[in-house]
Each structure stands twice: as C-alpha cells, then as structure tokens.
C-alpha cells in the first residue's frame, strides 16, 4: 500500500515501521528488475551498438551514474542472470539462489556483494553440487541477517563443507616465532612486537577487560584515548604478574585469582582478601579486578569452584562462565559475531526475581545485546539446553524462535 501522500505524523509507530518495511521491500524488488535490464543491455552489446566503449559510459551519459556505481551494478547483474559465453552458449548465473531471494525482496544489493565475496572462499576444485549448496545456504542466511554477518557465516559453512578434503602435498611453512624488542630511551621504554595468532589472542584477551573505559565518577567521564587505555591496561597487567603470578583472562574472568574472602567483607567493601601466596589485598581492589559490579562469592581456584554458585552469587563465576563459553562460543544473539571475551553472562530469569546463577539460566551476550534484551520485547528461552531468541511482534508477528548460526559447531 502506497503511503506517499499520507501525513506520517498521523501514523502509529507500528504503521510507520510497517510502511517503511513495505517500501524497502518494493525498492529491493525494483533493484532486481533494474539489474535484469542492465544484464540484457550488456548481453546484446548495447554499448557497441551506440558507439560506446562499454556500458559504463552509456549509463554515465544517460542516467548520470558515477562509473563506480555502474561497475558495481554491472558486476551484480552478471552474477545474478544468464549470460552468453564466448562460444555463444548460455551460461547459468553464478548466484541463482541469491537472485531468487533478491527478486522476492528478501535481500539487498549489499547482500549480493557479501555473498559474492564469501563464495570466493569456496575451493576452486569444489564440485558444482557443493558450490551450489554453499550459495543456497548463504542466500537463506541473508534472508534473516544483515550483509555484515554473511562473511563470518560463509567462513564457517565453507570450513565445515571442506575441512575433510585431502591436505595438499606441500608442507606449510613453519610459522614465524614471536618477537619482542624493548629498550629504554630517555626515561621511556619503547619497542615493538610481532606475535603469532595464538599469543596475540591471549594478549588481547588479557588486555581487553583492563582497558575498558572507567565509569563516570566524581572526576567526570573517562577522557583517556584508546591508546592510553591500552597502555594503562598493559601496565596493570605487568603489576598483576609481578604481584600474584596470575594473568587476566577473557571478558567476565577479568583475572584468575585463588583468594579467600568473607562474603560480609566483600558485600561491605571492607577488609582484606588473602591471595594463595598469602599476600593481602584490599577487598575494594579485589572487586575491581575480579568483577565489574555487584556481589560475588568467595573466589577460589577453578578445581574447587562449583558451576552452580547459588543465590549468594549474582555474577557468573569462572567455572560457570567457561561452561557458557563452551556452549555459546560468543554472543548468542542471532547474527552477532562478538567473541566470548566481549560477552557477559545474562540471567534468563532475572536474579532479583529468583533466577539462579546457573548454566540452565544463563546465556552469553555482548553488552549491546545484553542491553537490548533488558530494554525491549526480545525474549530468551532454552530448548534442549540451547538458547533461542524470540523477536518482538513488530519484527515477526509469528514470533518464530531464532538462534545464532555464527557460533554453531558441527
């Protein structure tokens, strides 16, 4: 239904969103038709017929498109439609499932670009059936998720499809060793490092929880630059190593400590905690290092810490968090690719409503989606131990449950 002449201020929020979605769908369908027109002009050699070098020049003069726009649309048109080969034989489109979804208004041209980029990772010697299967899966995924998520989904599905293929005969070259150069210059320690992926991931995971912006306090908001926050985090990391022989770990597990502290002292933010090397640190410092906010239980080593921490613990402890990471493998919200170190535990049944801090009442969420769950009508349910997300009615009137395929493992 066309609402061009409608006074938008008279529409309800639902009508405004529905009208927008209907127009967007119509635009997508028209884009698909436009690409078919471009493909036909390209197929019949319209540019040469009119005396032009290529179709880009025709479109520049006829509809005043920038060459970059014309080239992008011509590339998409060739991917989505039949074309003639050098022998004159008709060649099937490279992305037929994508073309079908675009014609139905389910995808955007940005989806087409993302799917085309993902398909470049399919091995050159893959069978046509496997190639077609991957493209169908990507197109189906795009019907639900934004183009930016297609890259990660494509990597995962292509890996699953071809991980058991024979290894090449050539041996991979040995990875370069980790390197670090540090020296004192004019009262400052300067240097550089070149780390492999495993060591680099460990370093970034250790720095990440320590480099978060400080909450606004009496001194105002945290005005440190990103580089300054990273530098302060690195300094704190060194202090932790020297003081306690332990390192910070990924998100929620901001530091792995074996400490003993009474619950009353911890709740009152007074007294001291005792490290396993018998060093005393103020409870206030322990709270800052071990968690960001709220009440935590007595923190102990991973072997003696239960997974279900009971009613006295509001935050997910180390052992339980590791169980959440093993199950969810990152933010569980549909389409989100944030890794575990950027996630925190969420109580499906709120803690203050009696929900337990347990694996069966927890799910990993990044901060943005954690806020969304609390502030919107999205709901989380567990089915056979797997988190599913139920969208608000304005997104899906049927409220069909969704899960995140980006972190699924075969």
Name residue 184's beta-bridge partners.
189
Q: Among 346, 345, 149, 151, which residue's Cα sits nearest to residue 250? A: 345
Tell me which H or E stretch contains 171.
none
112/139 Cα distance (integer angstroms)? 9
Do the beta carbons of residue 41 and residue 74 sit within 8 Å? Answer: no
The C-alpha angle 258, 264, 267, rounded to 5 degrees, equals 85
86/392 Cα distance (integer angstroms)? 51
Tens-level pLDDT at each residue, the chain (410 residues):
455 567 888 888 988 999 999 999 999 999 999 999 999 999 888 999 998 989 999 999 999 999 999 999 999 999 998 876 666 667 788 999 999 999 999 999 999 999 999 999 999 889 999 999 999 999 999 999 999 899 989 988 888 888 765 554 555 455 678 888 888 777 678 888 888 766 777 788 788 888 888 766 555 688 889 888 888 888 777 766 654 444 444 444 444 444 556 545 555 656 666 554 345 566 655 543 433 333 333 433 333 333 333 334 456 777 888 889 888 988 999 988 888 877 888 888 876 567 788 889 999 998 888 888 888 889 999 998 899 999 998 888 899 999 998 876 54
Q: Phi/psi at 242 (nearest 5 deg)?
A: -70, -30
213/350 Cα distance (integer angstroms)? 26
Tell me which H or E stretch contains 188.
strand 188-194
**Going from the N-terminus, what domains does the chain have, and what CATH number goes with each?**
8-162 (no CATH), 191-211+225-305 (no CATH), 312-410 (1.10.30)
């Amino acid at each position: 239904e066309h609402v061009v002449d409608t006074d938008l201020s008279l529409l309800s929020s639902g009508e405004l969103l529905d009208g927008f979605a209907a127009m967007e769908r119509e635009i997508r369908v028209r884009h698909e038709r436009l690409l078919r027109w471009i493909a036909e002009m390209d197929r019949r050699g319209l540019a040469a017929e009119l005396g032009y070098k290529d179709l880009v020049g025709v479109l520049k003069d006829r509809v005043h498109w920038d060459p970059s726009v014309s080239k992008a649309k011509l590339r998409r048109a060739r991917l989505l439609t039949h074309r003639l080969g050098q022998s004159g034989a008709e060649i099937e489109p490279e992305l037929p499932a994508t073309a079908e979804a675009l014609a139905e208004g389910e995808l955007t041209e940005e989806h087409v670009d993302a799917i085309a980029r993902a398909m470049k990772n399919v091995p050159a010697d893959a069978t046509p059936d496997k190639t077609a299967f991957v493209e169908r899966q990507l197109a189906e995924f795009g019907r639900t998720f934004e183009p930016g998520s297609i890259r990660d989904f494509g990597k995962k599905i292509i890996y699953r499809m071809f991980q058991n293929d024979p290894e090449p005969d050539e041996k991979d070259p040995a990875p370069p060793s980790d390197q670090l150069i540090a020296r004192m210059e004019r009262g400052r320690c300067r240097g550089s490092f070149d780390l492999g992926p495993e060591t680099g991931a460990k370093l970034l995971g250790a720095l990440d929880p320590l480099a978060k912006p400080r909450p606004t306090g009496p001194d105002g908001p945290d005005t440190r630059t990103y580089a300054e926050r990273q530098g302060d985090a690195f300094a704190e990391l060194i202090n932790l190593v020297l003081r306690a022989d332990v390192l910070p770990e990924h998100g929620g597990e901001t530091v792995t400590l074996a400490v003993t502290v009474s619950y009353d002292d911890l709740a009152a933010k007074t007294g001291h905690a005792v490290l396993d090397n018998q060093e005393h640190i103020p409870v206030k410092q322990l709270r800052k290092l071990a968690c960001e906010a709220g009440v935590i239980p007595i923190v102990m080593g991973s072997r003696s810490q239960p997974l279900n921490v009971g009613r006295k613990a509001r935050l997910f402890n180390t052992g339980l968090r590791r169980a959440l990471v093993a199950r969810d493998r990152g933010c569980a919200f549909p389409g989100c690719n944030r890794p575990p170190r950027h996630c925190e535990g969420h109580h499906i049944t709120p803690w203050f409503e009696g929900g337990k801090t347990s694996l069966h009442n927890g799910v990993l969420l990044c901060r943005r989606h954690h806020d969304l769950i609390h502030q919107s009508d999205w709901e989380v349910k567990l089915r056979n131990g797997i988190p599913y997300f139920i969208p608000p009615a304005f997104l899906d009137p049927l409220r069909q449950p969704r899960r995140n395929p980006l972190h699924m493992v075969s």
